[in-house]
Chains A and B, each alone.
Chain A
């Protein structure tokens, strides 16, 4: 019995088949010491089976160390959503629950190459010339969280300097502890700016700008 039911698969198919560009899922996994890796890989396999537009590459975190390092993957389960290039879009942990939405949004983002961000936002993002890493801590039961994750991924898509990570706080409790995650979504930018809650595009952008100073 799979994770996705027929109804969801059909709906997903209609969305994914219409993507103008292919999307590559680079899934990093490992058999031992990773309780959720198998679930994550199964979910990705099921999504990839739905449409030819989705190409799946399952990689071993240890054996394919070089590829992991190249994509700066430092924990598993990890999924990099890649298009014609690597936009820096990452999911750490299984994107189930509400995060299934943000995952599908990431596929649409890369597959359509359209972030839908405001022109003024895109212009401002062009002005960023320092590396920016956005971590969005989530729980799978948080309805606000996908909004923060989707926005962060859109920023990563538009700027070569920005990378964006969804991190499931429950699967990475040591990180949740390190960054003091007591409410989600919690966003940490370049280890120095952090805030809680799903904020509008303009405000999120202000935090990014602040982190690059």
Chain B
């Protein structure tokens, strides 16, 4: 156990956490970052086209640049380390992780979001056996295979675009009646000529003995079930806020941490930023801005309170 009381602990090292850290470092705050990874969801974006200053940049490159910026300061990063519980007694916040226990006067939660799973009965069995949640990682393993991408948002289209380089055919299976993704991405995917869009449909079963051999989909309009023969399933059906480790702040019914315009949560001294919060629009550039605000807000709180 580390009995030292930091001025600030930042949980998460994605765009919000890194930006908060840069701001905190410039304010010369005594702080650490605890994170299970670097870059959060950003690192899995194949192309980012809406971060001001970069017309096109891969998620990985953007994260690399963030990290380079962070490395200008002498920041203590505890990684990979996962937070398990946050509590507060008097004015001191206690952070319990899978490795240690830490204390701090303020906390910024920037833990982002976790991808949602499919929710079909035999999902666990097929994980890593044709069923995957990381197109960036696994797309190259599906050369000349038939695959399905489940979802209709930007991340689904991003997965489909990555797969067009490898797969023979891609079924894009969307529960909605039209794609929510940016039209630019939709065009890019469909221009490949190998994407087949199946709307109003959901996956009800994965078929296969050891590995994925197909999926059964249900058309929600005509209630008709269809079996598609394929070898790969890429799940991109959104995500949920990574906030399960804390129950002392107010959250929305979906688990997003509620913050005010200065990133304050309902618990004094605890701030939150980025995709884990209820702030409108989950975007990299917004997460960065929120991270900056949270750090300045934590700094102001410390200056006044202690």
**Which A residues are closer than 8 A to B by beta carbons?**
98, 139-145, 147, 169-170, 173, 176, 180-184, 186, 196-198, 200
**Is A184 a contact partner of B141 (Cβ separation < 8 A)?**
yes
Interface of chain A, helix or strand or loop or mixed? loop
Q: A98-B60, A139-B137, A139-B138 are in contact. Are A183 and B39 (CB under 8 A)?
A: no
**Is A145 a contact partner of B137 (Cβ separation < 8 A)?**
yes
Q: Across the two chains, which residue of chain A brings its CB closest to B81? A: A200
**Is B138 a contact partner of A184 (Cβ separation < 8 A)?**
yes
| Chain B contacts with A in 113-141, Cβ cutoff 8 A | 127-130, 132, 134, 136-141
Report A-chain residues with C-beta under 8 Å of the C-beta of B211: 180, 182
| Chain B contacts with A in 11-34, Cβ cutoff 8 A | none
Q: A98-B60, A180-B211, A182-B232 are in contact. Are A144 and B132 (CB under 8 A)?
A: no
| Chain B contacts with A in 138-172, Cβ cutoff 8 A | 138-143
Q: Is B44 an interface residue (CB 8 A)?
A: yes
**Is B134 a contact partner of A183 (Cβ separation < 8 A)?**
yes
**Is B43 a contact partner of A143 (Cβ separation < 8 A)?**
yes
Instruction: Kindly list 18 other residue pairs between chains A and B, CB separation below 8 angstroms, not including A139-B137, A142-B134, A182-B132.
Output: A139-B141, A140-B140, A141-B136, A143-B44, A145-B137, A147-B37, A170-B140, A173-B143, A180-B129, A180-B210, A180-B211, A182-B212, A183-B128, A183-B132, A196-B128, A198-B80, A200-B80, A200-B82
Report A-chain residues with C-beta under 8 Å of the C-beta of B137: 139, 141-145, 183-184
Interface centre among A98, A141, A170, A181 (most CB of B within 10 A): A141
**Is B141 a contact partner of A169 (Cβ separation < 8 A)?**
yes
The distance in angstroms between the C-alpha atoms of A30 and B287, with both chains bound, is 48
Q: Is B98 an interface residue (CB 8 A)?
A: yes
**Is A147 a contact partner of B139 (Cβ separation < 8 A)?**
no
Report B-chain residues with C-beta under 8 Å of the C-beta of A181: 141
B166 to chain A, nearest CB (A): 10
Q: Across the two chains, which residue of chain A brings its CB closest to B39? A: A143
1/0 contact string of B206-234 vs chain A (CB within 8 Å): 00001110000000000000000000100
A173 to chain B, nearest CB (A): 8
Q: Across the two chains, which residue of chain A brings its CB closest to B71? A: A11
**Is B80 a contact partner of A143 (Cβ separation < 8 A)?**
no
The distance in angstroms between the C-alpha atoms of A173 and B144, with both chains bound, is 13
A140 to chain B, nearest CB (A): 8
Q: Across the two chains, which residue of chain A brings its CB closest to B166? A: A170
* Residue from B39, B60, B130 within 8 A of A182 (CB atoms): B130
**Is A143 a contact partner of B136 (Cβ separation < 8 A)?**
yes
**Is A144 a contact partner of B128 (Cβ separation < 8 A)?**
no
Report A-chain residues with C-beta under 8 Å of the C-beta of B142: 182
